[in-house]
Amino acid sequence: MAREEDAEGRWVTIALSELAIGALRRDPDVEAHARMESALRFYLADSKGDSPAWPYPGFLRGSETRADTEVELMLPAGLWGAFEEEAVRQGVTVEQLSEHAIFYFAAELDAGRVTQRILDELERGDAAAD
């Protein structure tokens, strides 16, 4: 993983497996880097939840991620910093947690939870405007 900071945030290069890349590219209308940022944001936002799938799986802790492909993206420094801290807290690499966040996000998309969250936020916004 390489990093370079500038005024807007950090350029981050994350090595991922082909399986994770496939999960990022499942919607051809959404760029992989945009889906990656969404996955990281969604994963961190769920940190206070009680989903048993949220923490990095214990049985995978000793494994390494396959570095088949690299994804380069610009992330707000605060988002990447929080993600790095979470990886340290869970005792895994950022690559491991990145892959987990991607699969977690993809599973939630399939389950419809992301859509429901967007609808709830829109509803709250409409109520606040009234």
What are the pLDDT digits (tens) for 87-114? 999 999 999 999 999 999 988 877 666 6
**pLDDT for residue 77:** 83
Kindly report, residue by residue over 116-127, the tens digit of the pLDDT.
666 777 777 767
Q: At what angle do helices 32-45 and 77-90 cross, to 10 degrees?
A: 60
The string over 117-128, giving b where at least 16 C-beta atoms fall within 10 Å of a residue's C-beta and e elsewhere, is eeeeeeeeeeee
Nearest to 106 by CA among 48, 28, 45, 20: 20
Supply the mean pLDDT for the chain.
Answer: 80
Q: Above 80 in pLDDT, residue 115?
A: no
CA distance 40 to 58: 20
Question: Which neighbouring-strand residues pair with 9?
Answer: 6
Nearest to 111 by CA among 46, 66, 60, 57: 46
Kindly state the average pLDDT of the residues 55-82. 81
Kindly state the average pLDDT of the residues 69-78. 88
